[in-house]
Structure 1
Amino acid sequence: MVKSVELNNKLLKQIDETRYLTAENAWRYRTILRFFYLQYEKMKYWMYKEDVLEELNKHSEFKEYTMEHLKQDLDVLVSWKNLVPIQDTSRVATVEEFKNKQFRYQLSEYSVEIERMTLRLENLLVENASLEPSLLEKLKEELGRFLRMVNEDEKTVGFWWRDLNNDFRRLNQNYQDYIGDFYSLKAEEMMKTQEFLVYKERFIDYLRDFIKGLQHNVNAIESILTNITEADERVVINKIFSYEKAIPRLDLEIRDDDILDNIWGKWLNLKGWFLGENGKESEAARLFEITNEIIRKITRYAAQISESRNSAANRKEEYRKLLEMFLSCGELDHAHKLSAVSFGIFSPRHIKGDFARKTESINSGIFDEEAYIYTIKPRIRSYREKEKKTPIPNHQEKKAAMLKKIIQERQKEKEIMESYITDGVISFASLSLINGQIRALLLRWLAKGINSPDKKSKTEHGRVFRLISPENNARCQVRCEDGDFEMPAYKLQFEPEVDR
């Protein structure tokens, strides 16, 4: 019931008003338009360039910024439809001033909305991100009132719809923001620290409480949604549509189809969140899995921290014992050997490559496996591998035998075809029962004759023939071993063979 994306001119054309955000001098354009926007918020809609320059020169970044620079920037912003200019004749005292065109500038409607959006982006913070079961509880209560909305008036249904969507939106935003924090690089680093152990139990208890609420409320919501009939759905959706349509909107025309499509889209998305759609897993089930995965992740990191802390404590004793062993070494050579055993080679060479092992055992050591011989090639430009000279094989006998076989087949084929020529003519209408090989050969000759400008051609044996078209478009039936077919009654007239 939800429409697909409608492609129109508004959607397909680029929005020139946003070009100032990514242009080469974006820092200047954005500052100018931000000043216009702040004045717009104070209900000062029209600005002179002198006012703009005075404000810009207050900042160190614009100390060398001149009126000429400002005029160029304003002209660019006007060309991108960010500013609307109007000539101010009230300040003109001379003809020269009129020619210089004193303008006032106003922020366009698009630019107002774009600046509002950029302000929201600049101050975008994840606030109150949480996994509160109370939101699911509230959604369950709102959906439980669905059947009552069938008999309520449009205004009551409209208010109920707004509350339902607000709660659903908050649930989505909160869980996405909260879950997103756990998958951030900052969270990964924090969970690897010793301090995280203090909060581990609190996090796990909080997430488990949410899972309990999720299981309890989602099952109830699924039951409510599955019991709603299509007829009740249509009644309630139509009431919501009537309510939304009745809201007066200034300077904005919204088609009825768009309003209805938006309502149905929201409702189907809400249902899909809990019930799933097109055989796919529901978002509620996915949230349940993600939350469990986070608990496992927290537990895993905590275990790693505890293990590393314990191993560090054990290592102290090991290092103390090792130091005693070094102190007991009577000779330097003995100490070198102990160092080699304890720490290995200080400057090892690692050889890596695509070696095929005969075993997949991870416990198998180097000396347990067979030696691998690897040929090392010189890394110099002039190095070339020796080319092996191989003689060209002599296939003369095979060629002679094959040629003899082909000549015999051609001779046999010629004898068979000669048997179909009567008085120098092969008439397709007079052919007896033929096999597939003869049919293919005759049709090949026929195609040669048809494609020839003078209707003449040669057979593989060198005989010249001419194609004779049927009179009065006569047709005939050719009988073959694998079936009959109908065709024009062509004739192939052969010229007498010349003795050589």
Structure 2
Amino acid sequence: MDPIITPDKLRAVPELSYLTATNVARYRAVMTYCYTEYQRLKYWLRPEEVHAGVLAWGVLDGYTLEQCMSDLESLKSWGNLASRHDGGRALSVEEYMRKKSQYMLTQYAIEIERMLEALEQVKGYGGSLETTYFDTITSCIHEVRLRALEFEPGEALSHWEQLYEAFKTMHENAADFIASIHSIQAEEMMATEGFLALKDNLVHYLQHFVKGLQRSAYKIEGQLQRIGDGLRDAYVQKVIEGELAKPRLEAGKSAEELEQELQQGWANLQRWFVGDALEPSELTLLERATKDAIAKVVRSAVRLQERRRGGVSRRRDLETLARRFAQLEQVEDAHRLAAYAFGLFATRHMQGQDERGTERADVSSWDEAPNVRLIRSRSRRRIGRTAAEPMRSHAASRAAYREQVQRQLEEERQFVRRMQALGSVRIGEMPVLRMHERLRLLQWIGRCTAAASRSFETADGHRITLSVPEDARDVAVLRSEDGELTMRNYGLEVAAGQEASTHG
């Protein structure tokens, strides 16, 4: 349940001072003895009884009665002990002269000692994944939906305590168990060989919880969604009446505080199983965390098995395989045996632009010309010095590239002149184009559609203008030597620019 922060809850806690004081060993011994006697239903203790009980343990050397009385008064000043006057008869002058008191643990001190006793029993996170809590919650929610108005106040209080205790215990145990799987101790244990014997039981345990969660928890979600605000408020009021009907000797919580606390508890229950519009339910997160834990356990087991297999010598198997290869007479048979024994070798993916000779989709990659790529070694080993090499000349490659660029420009000029002769022409009116002309035309259309003016200028200064049909259903077929392409019936116009006119 979410805490309600008030100024009183932000105060210092002097009752914890004895845990960090200078004489912490003496204070802890006194408090432990008082708490042990409290569990035996002996509440008020005299200093002599406390001193004798601590000395009997033999943990404090030279511990005097005066020191014990001083420790009792210090604990009283911190609020751990309450005192009252001891009205018994004095048996000596020293007892008569000494102020006689009896001491009892306060409620804060009892809870602190209970906490310390529980902390001493902690061994790791603990926790468990039990599906029986889901059955209890399902039964309680079902009763709330059916007979919330029929509950007596005492019955409603007992019913709520059973419901929320099952919910709280289930949530805490599940959170602790999932945390234990991700702890450092679990990581170390999963790296040992003994984990393989535990793996199957652990995976079965997690899978059983996931199945129970999916079977029962979603029933709870459906039941909660059917309980309206009016039915919930009526149920909460009966629980409050049952709580207020308890006889108390001290001041308890008011009806408003109890209602706020119970409404918050029901909201926690609703959020855990149903969720809200901003975040998924805790139920979904728990299911996801459990499945991740299963995957983690399986991965750890696979790594252990691979490491175990890696240490096994395969010399005998390799010798047998080598003899099989030696007995073969045909290279084709050796290739088949290698394929069965080793399978496909690891592939390497090359990144770059393929130089395809055609755009046809039905052409196999095996029919294309190979693209040669220079691969550099990734080895970090220093390569030894070699003899000096003469400077390489790239004049031939530059000349070939220049010739290729000039040839492409000449092809573009010819296509520009051809399009200019056609004037303003639409896609449906164009003649059959060659493959490189089709690629050039599609390149023009792409450049025009990318520009805001729907036009651009070529290297020779010709302006290409594109007109887009208003009707999207106005389509045409662009015919070329390598196929037909259905597209929008664009209009193209080639006009000579200023640079082209001067050049002409």
What is the TM-score of this pair, normalised by structure 1?
A: 0.58
User: Structure 1 residues 86 and 141 mapped into 2: Cα distance closer, same or farther (>3 Å)?
Assistant: closer
Q: Quote the residue 2:110 is aligned against.
A: 112
Q: Contact 2:86 / 2:100 at 8 angstroms: preserved in 1?
A: yes
In structure 2, which of residues 70, 73, 80 is the aligned counterpart of residue 72 of structure 1? 70
Q: Contact 1:149 / 1:236 at 8 angstroms: preserved in 2?
A: no
Work out the CA distance in 2 between the residues paired with 1:197 and 1:79: 56
Q: Any residues of structure 2 matched to 1:180-195 within 5 Å, and which?
A: 180-195=179-194
C-alpha distance after superposition, 1:153-183 (max 9, x if no partner): 3334333322211221231133123222212
Work out the CA distance in 1 between the residues paired with 2:168 and 2:234: 23
Work out the CA distance in 2 between the residues paired with 1:4 and 1:113: 18
User: Structure 1 residues 64 and 296 mapped into 2: Cα distance closer, same or farther (>3 Å)?
Assistant: same
Q: What amino acid sits opposite 2:186 in the alignment?
A: A
**Any idea what SS the aligned residue of 1:58 has?**
helix
User: Structure 1 residues 243 and 54 mapped into 2: Cα distance closer, same or farther (>3 Å)?
Assistant: closer
User: Structure 1 residues 254 and 274 mapped into 2: Cα distance closer, same or farther (>3 Å)?
Assistant: same
Work out the CA distance in 2 between the residues paired with 1:362 and 1:11: 68
Q: Contact 2:128 / 2:177 at 8 angstroms: preserved in 1?
A: yes
**Any idea what SS the aligned residue of 1:104 has?**
strand
Q: Quote the residue 2:142 is aligned against.
A: 144
Q: Contact 2:124 / 2:180 at 8 angstroms: preserved in 1?
A: no
In structure 2, which of residues 133, 136, 145 is the aligned counterpart of residue 135 of structure 1? 133
The range that moved more, 277-286 or 236-245, is 236-245
Q: Any residues of structure 2 matched to 1:56-455 within 5 Å, and which?
A: 56-88=54-86, 90-92=88-90, 98-124=96-122, 129-155=127-153, 156-314=155-313, 364-366=378-380
> How far off its partner does 1:124 sit?
4.4
C-alpha distance after superposition, 1:36-78 (max 9, x if no partner): 2222333433333233222222333322222332233223223
Q: How many residues align?
A: 326
What is the TM-score of this pair, normalised by structure 2?
A: 0.58
Q: What amino acid sits opposite 1:365 in the alignment?
A: S
Q: What amino acid sits opposite 2:226 in the alignment?
A: N
Q: Quote the residue 1:492 is aligned against.
A: none
User: Structure 1 residues 71 and 193 mapped into 2: Cα distance closer, same or farther (>3 Å)?
Assistant: same
Structure 2 unaligned spans of 5+? 320-374, 384-504
Q: Quote the residue 1:33 is aligned against.
A: 31
Q: Quote the residue 2:42 is aligned against.
A: 44
> How far off its partner does 1:267 sit?
0.6
User: Structure 1 residues 100 and 218 mapped into 2: Cα distance closer, same or farther (>3 Å)?
Assistant: closer
**Any idea what SS the aligned residue of 1:253 has?**
coil
> How far off its partner does 1:127 sit?
10
> How far off its partner does 1:301 sit?
0.7
Structure 1 unaligned spans of 5+? 321-360, 370-500
Work out the CA distance in 1 between the residues paired with 2:2 and 2:33: 41
Q: Contact 1:34 / 1:115 at 8 angstroms: preserved in 2?
A: yes
Q: Does 2:51 align with 1:53?
A: yes
> How far off its partner does 1:130 sit?
2.9
Q: Contact 2:125 / 2:179 at 8 angstroms: preserved in 1?
A: no
User: Structure 1 residues 368 and 151 mapped into 2: Cα distance closer, same or farther (>3 Å)?
Assistant: farther
**Any idea what SS the aligned residue of 2:102 has?**
strand
Q: Contact 1:20 / 1:77 at 8 angstroms: preserved in 2?
A: yes
User: Structure 1 residues 101 and 237 mapped into 2: Cα distance closer, same or farther (>3 Å)?
Assistant: closer
> How far off its partner does 1:185 sit?
1.9
Q: What amino acid sits opposite 1:227 in the alignment?
A: R
The range that moved more, 158-167 or 277-286, is 158-167
**Any idea what SS the aligned residue of 2:313 has?**
helix
| RMSD over aligned Cα atoms | 3.2
**Any idea what SS the aligned residue of 1:193 has?**
coil
Q: Contact 1:82 / 1:107 at 8 angstroms: preserved in 2?
A: yes
Work out the CA distance in 1 between the residues paired with 2:40 and 2:300: 53
C-alpha distance after superposition, 1:330-352 (max 9, x if no partner): xxxxxxxxxxxxxxxxxxxxxxx
> How far off its partner does 1:273 sit?
0.5
Q: Contact 1:20 / 1:26 at 8 angstroms: preserved in 2?
A: yes
Work out the CA distance in 2 between the residues paired with 1:227 and 1:362: 68
User: Structure 1 residues 206 and 311 mapped into 2: Cα distance closer, same or farther (>3 Å)?
Assistant: same
**Any idea what SS the aligned residue of 1:46 has?**
coil
Work out the CA distance in 2 between the residues paired with 1:212 and 1:229: 29
Work out the CA distance in 1 between the residues paired with 2:178 and 2:86: 56
Q: Identity of counterpart residues, as a percentage? A: 30
User: Structure 1 residues 59 and 316 mapped into 2: Cα distance closer, same or farther (>3 Å)?
Assistant: farther
**Any idea what SS the aligned residue of 2:56 has?**
coil
Work out the CA distance in 2 between the residues paired with 1:97 and 1:221: 66
Q: Contact 2:148 / 2:231 at 8 angstroms: preserved in 1?
A: yes
User: Structure 1 residues 363 and 118 mapped into 2: Cα distance closer, same or farther (>3 Å)?
Assistant: farther
